[in-house]
């Protein structure tokens, strides 16, 4: 995280446009790739446009799409689901990941192999994790219902993904399975970077393991922890592939996240106007969150 | 910290290690088994572990008729294309952001990071309609181009962390000797940062390979990537689990191998270079 060591201390003799000449192609391409769709969506958000009825926007309706999105549960229902899995998921993944990281730092033979294998769920495409869990959740002979029933845990008759009470948690469980190793591996790297003499000094002072964790280890890996928490928070907030494969937002709207709602309204129902208004609402929320994250967590990064 | 010192403590730690592997690797193996199990044991509980492997599903997907072979090829083309197109944009930018004190450098890095955290799905509908409008829908190029919104910011972050580690004194010595900037970059900087470029490219390949959102709306029947092609099996009458597993396992393998090869860089890659690991 320290980027200062190799920076030139003296002013360079190069003309000042050279760095910008090197940087600007990336900026121009990225701005073009983002600005077009966003402006396109902004315009369409003020039109009634169902793609099944017409290949072009069908009529200016002012704030109509936004009013529709903000009334009922279109936006806020999805926002609630999204925030729920994002906050709960990030918290659980962090705590489990930290616990595993504390196990990984024990110097046991075989630990390196375990660590290298442990990251495998994180390498898989989320959509493929969706396939895997849809198989394992199958109410007609999936591994997970069988395990839970064997343990005496009652399950909804419609299946874990088929019941409005359990579906969102089942989706979240798949995400936790995939991303807990990510926390574990990164926090493990953070723990390794703690100087051994600090741990040794605490041990000589007879600090309890709990005090050692809360007062020494966690404060020293705070920066690393903040980075992973923020990255994961945003990825979870954008969850879409997993929902697409596991539940398609159902049953009812019980697993409809913001990301999946956009897909549903735009690319399944073809209501481009409503989906565009939702897009802009999501863009505003995401920008607000990223702004906060950058302000609190990443400001010391560079 | 005493648990590791006794025999009992060590046994407990090994038991925990085994439990971790069962929880996190078990489901993957379970899915691999699905690809080679006889169809009548797909949903047999308690699980049937002793069976004679049948290769029908794998054969259907990748042998004869090789239903998923074109998709495997498409995935390779799109991911490799996304990596190759990204380098001429990200490499110079990463170099400049590492070596020069530019006004607004920090804000620019945050802007790139913001792009990585943006919801891809917000762009899907416009990209889908715009790609149709300009006649690019279904082309490899449309997917490769749109993937740049991920690969360029990612590569700039990760590459910069590698370039930061190459001492600037080497370049300055060459400059004193009269070398021009292009010569310095080509003959001196590039060889020094080549390992970083390779590592970055391999991670960028994985992220492109695993991206399903863009191909979902930009590909057509001929250019569908492996995950998108696998998704199509759900549309046909009855879910054909053996085929799904065969195709999905094939989609898993390249990222897994790359992560095993890049083991010591995994933390760095997953955190865009911000945690060295």
The DSSP annotation for B98-152 comes to HHS--TTHHHHHHHHHHHHTS-THHHHHHHHHHHHHTT-TT-HHHHHHHHHHHHH
B252·A124 Cβ contact <8 A: yes
Please enumerate in sequence order all residues whose Cβ is within 8 A of that of A11, keeping only pairs 6 or more positions apart, or say none: none
A261-284 pLDDT, tens digit per residue, is 989 888 888 889 999 999 999 999
Record the tokens describing residue A91, joined without a space. Answer: 């918290």
Specify the pLDDT at position A1.
43
Picking from A1, A26, A238, the nearest residue to B119 by CB comes out as A238
Q: Which of residues 241-260 of A touch B (CB under 8 A)?
A: 241, 244-245, 258-260
The rounded distance, in Å, linking the Cα atoms of A118 and B122 is 32
Taking a C-beta distance cutoff of 8 angstroms, is the pair B26, A133 a contact?
Answer: no
Lowest mean pLDDT among A85-89, A129-133, A210-214: A210-214
The rounded distance, in Å, linking the Cα atoms of B202 and B255 is 9
Specify the pLDDT at position A3.
46
Write down the H helix ranges in A124-271: 126-137, 143-150, 167-192, 196-204, 209-211, 218-220, 222-237, 241-246, 258-263
Nearest CA in chain A to B2: A209
The rounded distance, in Å, linking the Cα atoms of A265 and A274 is 7
Chain-wide mean pLDDT for chain A? 87
Greater confidence (B238 vs A263) lies with A263
**b or e along B82-111 (b: 16 or more beta carbons within 10 Å of the residue's beta carbon)?**
bbebbbebbbbbbbbbbbbeeeebeebbbe
Please enumerate in sequence order all residues whose Cβ is within 8 A of that of B134, keeping only pairs 6 or more positions apart, or say none: none
A290·B128 Cβ contact <8 A: no
Average pLDDT over residues A54-58: 79
- Residue A159 phi, psi (nearest 5): 95, 160
Chain-wide mean pLDDT for chain B? 89
Computed on alpha carbons and rounded to an integer, the radius of gyration of chain A in Å comes to 24
Q: Is the pLDDT of residue A43 over 60?
A: yes
Greater confidence (B235 vs B240) lies with B240
A65-97 pLDDT, tens digit per residue, is 898 888 877 889 999 999 999 999 999 999 999
Confidence category of residue A300, pLDDT binned at 50, 70, 90: low
A158-203 pLDDT, tens digit per residue, is 889 988 889 999 999 999 999 999 999 999 999 998 888 888 888 8
What ipTM does the predicted assembly reach?
0.91
**Contacts A27 to B, Cβ<8 Å:** 93, 108
Greater confidence (A26 vs A209) lies with A26
Specify the pLDDT at position B5.
62
Average pLDDT over residues B23-35: 94
The rounded distance, in Å, linking the Cα atoms of B185 and B174 is 10
- CA angle, B155 as apex, B149 and B159 as ends, to 5°? 160
A280-291 pLDDT, tens digit per residue, is 999 999 889 888
Nearest CA in chain B to A225: B275
Confidence category of residue B1, pLDDT binned at 50, 70, 90: very low
Please enumerate in sequence order all residues whose Cβ is within 8 A of that of A184, keeping only pairs 6 or more positions apart, or say none: A96, A97, A98, A100, A101, A104, A118
As a whole-number percent, the residues of chain B with pLDDT over 90 amount to: 48
Taking a C-beta distance cutoff of 8 angstroms, is the pair B275, A186 a contact?
Answer: yes
What is the nearest CA distance from A223 to chain B, expressed in angstroms?
9
Record the tokens describing residue B266, joined without a space. Answer: 């995994």
Q: Is the pLDDT of residue B247 over 60?
A: yes
Please enumerate in sequence order all residues whose Cβ is within 8 A of that of A204, keeping only pairs 6 or more positions apart, or say none: none
Specify the pLDDT at position B94.
94
């Amino acid at each position: 995280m320290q980027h200062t060591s190799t920076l030139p201390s003296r002013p360079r003799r190069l003309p000042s446009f050279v760095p910008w000449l090197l940087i600007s192609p990336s900026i121009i391409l990225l701005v073009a790739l983002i600005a077009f769709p966003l402006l396109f969506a902004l315009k369409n958000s003020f039109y009634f446009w169902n793609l099944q009825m017409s290949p072009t926007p069908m009529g200016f309706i002012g704030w109509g799409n936004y009013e529709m999105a903000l009334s009922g549960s279109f936006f806020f229902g999805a926002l609630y689901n999204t925030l729920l899995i994002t906050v709960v998921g990030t918290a659980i993944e962090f705590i489990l990941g930290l616990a595993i990281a504390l196990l990984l730092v024990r110097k046991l033979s075989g630990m390196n192999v375990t660590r290298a294998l442990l990251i495998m769920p994180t390498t898989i495409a989320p959509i493929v994790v969706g396939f895997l869990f849809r198989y394992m959740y199958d109410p007609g002979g999936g591994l997970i219902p069988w395990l839970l029933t064997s343990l005496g845990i009652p399950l909804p008759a419609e299946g874990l993904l088929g019941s409005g009470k359990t579906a969102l948690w089942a989706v979240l469980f798949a995400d936790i399975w995939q991303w807990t190793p990510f926390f574990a591996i990164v926090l493990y790297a953070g723990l390794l970077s703690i100087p051994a003499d600090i741990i040794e000094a605490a041990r000589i002072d007879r600090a309890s393991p709990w005090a050692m964790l809360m007062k020494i280890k966690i404060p020293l890996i705070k920066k690393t922890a903040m980075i992973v928490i923020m990255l994961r928070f945003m990825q979870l907030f954008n969850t879409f592939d997993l929902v697409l494969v596991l539940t398609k937002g159902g049953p009812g709207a019980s697993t409809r996240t913001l990301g999946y709602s956009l897909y549903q309204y735009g690319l399944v129902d073809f209501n481009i106007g409503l989906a565009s208004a939702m897009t802009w609402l999501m863009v505003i929320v995401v920008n607000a969150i990223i702004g906060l994250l950058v302000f609190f967590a990443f400001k010391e990064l560079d | 910290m005493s648990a590791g010192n006794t025999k009992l403590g060590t046994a407990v730690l090994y038991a925990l290690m085994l439990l971790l592997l069962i929880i996190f690797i078990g489901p993957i193996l379970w899915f691999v088994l699905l690809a080679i199990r006889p169809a009548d044991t797909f949903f047999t509980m308690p699980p049937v572990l002793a069976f004679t492997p049948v290769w029908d599903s794998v054969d259907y997907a990748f042998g004869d008729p090789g239903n998923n072979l074109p998709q495997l090829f498409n995935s390779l083309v799109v991911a490799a294309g996304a990596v190759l197109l990204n380098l001429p944009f990200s490499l110079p930018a990463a170099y400049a952001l590492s070596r020069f004190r530019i006004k607004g450098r920090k804000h620019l890095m945050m802007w790139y990071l913001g792009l990585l955290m943006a919801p891809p799905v917000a762009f899907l509908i416009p990209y889908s309609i715009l790609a149709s409008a300009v006649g690019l829908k279904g082309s490899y190029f449309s997917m490769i181009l749109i993937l740049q919104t991920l690969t360029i910011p990612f590569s700039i972050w990760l590459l910069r962390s590698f370039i930061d580690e190459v001492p600037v004194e080497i370049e300055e010595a060459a400059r004193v000797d009269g070398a021009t900037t292009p010569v310095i970059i080509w003959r001196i900087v590039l060889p020094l940062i080549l390992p970083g470029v390779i590592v970055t490219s391999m991670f960028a390949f994985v992220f492109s390979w695993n991206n399903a959102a863009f191909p979902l709306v930009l590909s057509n029947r001929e250019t569908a990537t492996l995950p998108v092609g696998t998704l199509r099996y759900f549309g046909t009458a009855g879910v054909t689990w053996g085929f799904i597993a065969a195709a999905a396992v094939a989609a898993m393998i390249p990222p897994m191998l790359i992560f095993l090869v890049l083991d010591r860089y995994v933390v760095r890659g997953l955190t865009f270079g911000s945690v060295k690991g």
